[in-house]
Amino acid sequence: YIKMVKICCIGAGYVGGPTMAVIALKCPAIEVVVVDISVPRITAWNSDHLPIYEPGLDEVVKQCRGKNLFFSLEVEKHVSEADIVFVSVNTPTKTQGLGAGKAADLTYWESSARMIADVSKSDKIVVEKSTVPVKTAEAIEKILTHNSKGINFQILSNPEFLAEGTAISDLLNPDRVLIGGRETPGGEKAVKALKDVYANWVPEERIICTNLWSAELSKLAANAFLAQRISSVNAMSALCEATGADVTEVSHAVGKDTRIGPKFLNASVGFGGSCFQKDILNLVYICECNGLPEVANYWKQVVKINDYQKTRFVNRVVASMFNTVSGKKVAILGFAFKKDTGDTRETPAIDVCRGLLGDNASLSIYDPQVTEDQIRRDLAMKKFDWDQRSHLQPLSPTAIRSLSVVWDAYDAAKDAHAVCILTEWDEFRTLDYQRIYDNMQKPAFLFDGRNVVDAEKLRGIGFIVYSIGKPLDLWLKDMPAIA
Ligand code: NAI
C-alpha cells in the first residue's frame, strides 16, 4: 500500500521545474504541483515553449503535465494541501546592507516560510531545495514554529546537485541524493518519507542521509570544490602561456592521477552560472562570521582568479589588436555561461563584452539559445562588483547602441576584425572557418575562450589564433598583454 502524497514546490525556476518534472515522471502515484508568483514563468511552463532550455526536459514535461504534474499560480492553495513542500526559490547575493557582496539574500526564502506557516492546516515536511547558508534550517524552523498554530513542521535539507545543460540526465541518474534532517524521531520519520520518494528510481546506496548542517554545508562545499578546480586550471593556463607549456597536456597528465581525476579540468575564459560565485561568496561570509578569516580568504581567491581570467582575456584581445579595438567589429560566438543552456546568469560573456565595449569595440553577438532581449538586458544591467561592494558604472547608451545581436555565426563574423568564442557550443567546432576567414578583415584574429577549435588548422587558413593556456603565436608573443 502506497499512500498518495501530494508534493508542492515553491519556485518554478531552473531547479524547481526540472526536479519536480522528474519526480512526477518517476512517481506516478504522487501529485506534484510547482507554484510560482511569476505569471510569465507559469504561463510558459503550461505552454509549448518552456521557460528554460534543457535537453530532454520537453519530453518529460509533455509526458506528465496534466496527469500528475501541474504548474500553478495558486501558491497558497497548493501549499496548504501538500504533505511535502519543497522550497526552491532564488537565493542571490545581497547587494545592500549587512553582508552586501557576499551574504545570501534570504528574503524570498523567509517570505515563503512565513507563507507556509500562515496557510498550513496540516502537518508538513518543508524541504530546503534552494542552496542556503549552513544553519538556515534553524532560522526557518523558528519562523515556522513561532507561527504554527500547533501544526508540526519538519525541516529537511535536500540540496540539488544538478548541472544546467545536463539537468535531466543528472536527475534521472544522480551521483547521490543528499537528505539532512533532525536526529529526533520526528526528524527521522520525515527523512524516511523523502527517501521513499527518491527510492522510486534512485538506488538506496546513493541516498545519503546526514544531519541538517552537514547537508546544508555539503552543497556549498561541493560548489566551492568544483569552482576551485576551474580556477586552479585557469591559474595554470596563465603560467602555461608564459612558459610554453600547454594547459591541455598539463590537465591530461594531472587528471590521470586517480586521486585527482580527469573531469572539470578544462581551462576557459572563466566559470559562470548563477551558483558558483554566489555560493563561494556565501561560504566566505559564513567563515568570516564564524571568526575564520584565513579560511574565508582561501576560498575568496577562487572567485578572484575567475575575475582575473576574464580580465586577462579582454586584455589579450585588445593588446593583440594593436592595443585598440575602437570602432572595430568583433564577433562574439556564444553568450550563455555554458553549452546546452540559454542561461546567462553571471556568464563570463557579460564581463568580456563589457570590457570590449569599454574599449569602444563594435560587437556582433550570436548564441543559438539566448535572445537579443536577454543579451541587451544583461549588458545594460548595472553590474554589482562583489569585491568593491559597489555597482559598476552602467554602459553608456552609445556603447549599447554599437552592438548587434544576430542569428547566425557567419553573419556575426562578416567584416569582423576578430572572433571571440565564449561558449563551447558544439556547433562552433564545425563551422566553415575558411568561409569565415574569407569574409573577415585582415589580419583576422580568433580568440578561443573555450579551446574548441583546432588552432593549427585555423593557422593554416591564415588566422592569428589565441587559445587559452596554449603556446602563443609569434604575433601574440610580440604583443604582450598586461593583466
Ligand atoms: P530561479 O531564479 O530560476 O527560480 C526561482 C523561482 O522562485 C523564480 O521563478 C521566482 O519567481 C520564484 N519565487 C521567488 N520567490 C517566490 C515566492 N515567494 N513564491 C513563489 N515563487 C517565488 O532560480 P534557480 O536557478 O532555480 O535556483 C533556485 C535555488 O536553487 C537557488 O538557491 C540556487 O542556488 C539553487 N540551485 C541552482 C542550481 C542551478 O543550476 N540553477 C543548481 C543547484 C541549486
DSSP string, 284-311: HHHHHHTT-HHHHHHHHHHHHHHHHHHH
- The grid cell for 186 is 520526528
Choosing from 275, 287, 353, 420, the catalytic residue is 275
Asked if residues 254 and 476 have their Cβ atoms less than 8 Å apart, the reply is no
Q: Is residue 259 packed enough to be buried (19+ CB in 10 Å), middle (13-18) or exposed (0-12)?
A: exposed
CA dist., res. 104 & res. 283, Å (int):
9
| Residue 66: per-residue pLDDT | 97
Chunked into runs of 10 residues, the chain (483 residues) has average pLDDT values of: 79 98 97 98 98 97 98 98 96 90 93 95 96 92 89 96 97 98 96 97 98 97 98 98 96 98 97 96 96 98 97 96 95 98 96 94 97 93 80 79 93 98 98 98 98 97 97 82 59
Sheet arrangement for strand 404-405: 404-405, 362-366, 329-333, 418-421, 445-448, 464-467
- Whose cell is 609569434? That residue is 474
- The grid cell for 323 is 592595443
Residues 6+ apart with CB under 8 A from 119: 76, 79, 80
The dihedral over CA atoms of 134, 280, 391, 272, expressed in degrees to the nearest 10, equals: -130
CA dist., res. 471 & res. 334, Å (int):
24
- Return the ligand 1 atom nearest residue 279 CA: 34
Nearest to 271 by CA among 298, 220, 306, 232: 306
Backbone angles phi, psi at 124, to 5 degrees: -145, 150
Helix, strand, coil share of the chain (percent; to 5): 45, 15, 40
Asked if residues 53 and 31 have their Cβ atoms less than 8 Å apart, the reply is no
Q: What is the pTM of this model?
A: 0.95
Parallel, antiparallel or unpaired: strands 31-35 and 362-366 = unpaired
The count of other CB atoms within 10 Å of the CB of residue 433 is 21
Rounded to 5°, angle at Cα 212 from 111 and 275: 60
Nearest to 354 by CA among 387, 389, 386, 317: 317
| Residue 1: per-residue pLDDT | 39
CA dist., res. 27 & res. 106, Å (int):
31
- Return the ligand 1 atom nearest residue 14 CA: 26
- Return the ligand 1 atom nearest residue 91 CA: 32
- The sign one gets for the Cα dihedral 121, 125, 129, 133 is positive
Between the CA of 109 and the centroid of ligand 1 the distance, in Å, is 10
As a whole number of angstroms, the longest Cα–Cα distance in the chain is 75
The dihedral over CA atoms of 278, 364, 314, 284, expressed in degrees to the nearest 10, equals: 0
Between the CA of 22 and the centroid of ligand 1 the distance, in Å, is 17
| Residue 391: per-residue pLDDT | 78
Q: Which domains does the chain have, with CATH numbers?
A: 6-202 (3.40.50.720), 244-478 (3.40.50.720)
Gyration radius from the chain CA atoms? 24
CA dist., res. 466 & res. 447, Å (int):
5
Query: Which residue stretches of 370-440 are H helix?
Result: 372-380, 397-401, 409-413, 433-438
Parallel, antiparallel or unpaired: strands 69-72 and 362-366 = unpaired
Residues 6+ apart with CB under 8 A from 167: 14, 18, 54, 57
The verdict on whether 209 is a catalytic residue reads no
- Mutate which of 20, 22, 90 for ligand 1? The one with the most ligand atoms within 8 Å of its CB, which is 90
Query: Angle between the 107-119 and 136-146 helix axes, to the nearest 10 degrees?
Result: 30
> How many Å separate Cα 3 from the centre of its chain?
36
CA dist., res. 410 & res. 440, Å (int):
10
- Return the ligand 1 atom nearest residue 11 CA: 7
CA dist., res. 182 & res. 137, Å (int):
10
Closest Cα to atom 43 of ligand 1: 160
Give the binding-site residues of ligand 1, using a 6 Å CB cut-off: 10-16, 36-38, 41, 75, 88-91, 108, 111-112, 130-131, 160, 162, 164, 274-275
| Residue 3: per-residue pLDDT | 63
| Residue 401: per-residue pLDDT | 80
Helix (H) or strand (E) holding 240: helix 212-243
Beta strands in 317-430 (DSSP E): 329-333, 362-366, 384-385, 390-391, 404-405, 418-421
Closest Cα to atom 28 of ligand 1: 90
Between the CA of 13 and the centroid of ligand 1 the distance, in Å, is 5
Nearest to 76 by CA among 106, 42, 125, 114: 114
Between the CA of 166 and the centroid of ligand 1 the distance, in Å, is 17
Helix (H) or strand (E) holding 23: helix 16-26
- Mutate which of 14, 20, 75 for ligand 1? The one with the most ligand atoms within 8 Å of its CB, which is 14
Q: Is residue 447 packed enough to be buried (19+ CB in 10 Å), middle (13-18) or exposed (0-12)?
A: buried
